[in-house]
């Protein structure tokens, strides 16, 4: 994991935005270093998309500054940007390769080079045989690959992806993560928003988490987790997990995260669990909480994951 040591490529300071009487973002500040993979987290309606749209000049900010490479973003900077909005959109009547070339040209790639890049990309994502097909005739997964292609076709310096894995099957999700790693390896900065915390733990260097339009967590992923606590019990089990005042539990069928109550040690909890004969523990470790646990605790039970 990288510390934010390099010059920031994105710098947001005291940013506020309201729609009518609804304050969506209030005094938000964070930076994204060049070459980082940066996760932008928050529940539905927390203002992530609004922030990204303001950063890219699609909306006007009410207050504060949002800068890319030290400047307010303008379409003339599109050569360094790859953007995949939350609202996916492609010309459904357009042809696959033509669409990639069109977006490449709009981002300043020469027509000749755009042809080559489109061909290479289609081969990379195994869609070369569909180059002349209309996009509307592609499956949703294939369309998603083209959508990603329009974002990365110009080999951008800054790649902003708003919920990039939404709607992807596991294979295409893996392909996307590999693509992101490839672009990150060649030096691209990646900012992505997501609800899937495992993805953040898998690829992100740093994160910012917002709630009600305000920053709640910010920094290196592991550091954020450590700051949130280091005595969370991760349990794998079969049988029935008992309820107790010793801990608060977030569990699924065979695993759970237990957060000890005040002044309760993990040993006390282990002893309590061991005393229950209808519970068989296969794994027990004490470490920092997962981002999922942090997210849920921060947003409360009403948050939809």
Partner 1 sequence: MSDLKIIARREVKETLRRPIFWISTLVFPLFMAAILFLNNASEKALAQKAEQQLKEATKIILVDKAGVIDPATVSDKVFEFSDNAASAKQAVVDGQADATFIYQTDIAKTGKVQVIENQTSDGNPLNIGRYNDLAVNLVQQSAFNSIPDPLSRQLANETLQTDTTTYHNGQPAKQLGDYLAPALVLGAYFLLLILTPNIFLMSVTEEKENRAMEMILTAVKLKDFILGKLSGLTLAAIAQILMLASISIVGFIIFGGNLPDGINFSLSSINWVQLALAVFYLLSGFIIIASLLIGVGSLATNAREAGNMVGPVIMLTIFPIYFITFILQDPSGGLALGTSYFPLTAPFILQVRNALGVIPTSEVIFSVITLATYTVAAVFLSLSMFKVGALDYNKRVSLKRLRNSLIKRK
Beta-ladder partners of 38 = 191, 206
Applying CB under 8 A, does 172 fall inside the site for partner 1? no
Site string for partner 1, 54-93 (x = CB under 8 A): --xxx--------------xxxx-x--x-xxx-xxxxxxx
150 binds partner 1 (CB under 8 A): yes
Q: Does 103 bind partner 1 (CB under 8 A)?
A: yes
Binding residues for partner 1, how many (CB under 8 A)?
Answer: 29
Does position 111 interact with partner 1 (CB under 8 A)? The reply is yes
CB-nearer residue toward partner 1: 60 or 267: 60
Q: Is residue 53 within the footprint of partner 1 (CB under 8 A)? A: yes
First-last CA distance in the chain:
25
Please report whether residue 106 would count as binding partner 1 according to CB under 8 A: yes
Of 85 and 229, CB closest to partner 1: 85
Instruction: Provide the strand spans (E) within 130-254.
Output: 158-162, 189-194, 206-211, 214-220, 232-239, 247-251
Q: Are 225 and 200 in contact (CB under 8 A)?
A: no
Query: Nearest-CA neighbor of 190 among 181, 178, 202, 201?
Result: 181
Q: Does the footprint of partner 1 cover residue 118 (CB under 8 A)? A: no
CA gap 91, 36 in Å, rounded: 31
Contact 192, 179 (CB under 8 A): no
Interacting residues with partner 1 (CB under 8 A): 53, 56-58, 73-76, 78, 81, 83-85, 87-94, 102-103, 105-107, 111, 150-151
């Amino acid at each position: 994991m990288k510390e934010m040591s390099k010059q920031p490529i994105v710098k947001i300071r005291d940013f506020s935005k309201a729609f009518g009487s609804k304050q969506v973002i209030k005094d938000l500040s964070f930076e994204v270093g060049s070459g980082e993979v940066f996760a932008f987290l928050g529940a539905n309606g927390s203002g992530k998309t609004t922030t990204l749209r303001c950063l890219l000049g699609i909306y006007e900010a009410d207050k504060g500054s949002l800068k890319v490479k030290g400047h307010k973003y303008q379409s003339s900077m599109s050569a360094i940007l790859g953007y995949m909005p939350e609202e996916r959109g492609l010309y459904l009547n357009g042809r696959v390769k033509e669409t990639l070339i069109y977006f490449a040209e709009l981002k300043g790639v020469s027509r000749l080079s755009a042809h080559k890049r489109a061909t290479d990309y289609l081969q990379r994502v195994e869609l070369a045989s569909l180059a002349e097909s209309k996009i509307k005739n592609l499956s949703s997964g294939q369309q998603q690959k083209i959508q990603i292609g329009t974002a990365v076709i110009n080999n951008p310096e800054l790649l902003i992806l708003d919920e990039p894995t939404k709607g992807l099957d596991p294979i295409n999700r893996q392909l996307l993560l590999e693509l992101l790693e490839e672009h990150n390896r060649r030096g691209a900065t990646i900012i992505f928003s997501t609800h899937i915390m495992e993805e953040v733990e898998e690829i992100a260097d740093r994160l910012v988490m917002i709630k009600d339009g305000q920053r709640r967590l910010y920094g290196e992923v592991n550091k954020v987790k450590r700051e949130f606590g280091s005595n969370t019990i991760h349990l794998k089990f079969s049988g029935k997990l008992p309820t107790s005042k010793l801990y608060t539990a977030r569990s699924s069928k065979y695993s759970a995260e237990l957060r000890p109550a005040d002044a309760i040690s993990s040993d006390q909890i282990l002893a309590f669990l061991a005393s229950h004969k209808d519970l068989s523990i296969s794994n027990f470790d004490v470490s920092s909480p997962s981002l999922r646990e942090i997210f849920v605790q921060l947003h409360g039970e009403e948050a939809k994951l």
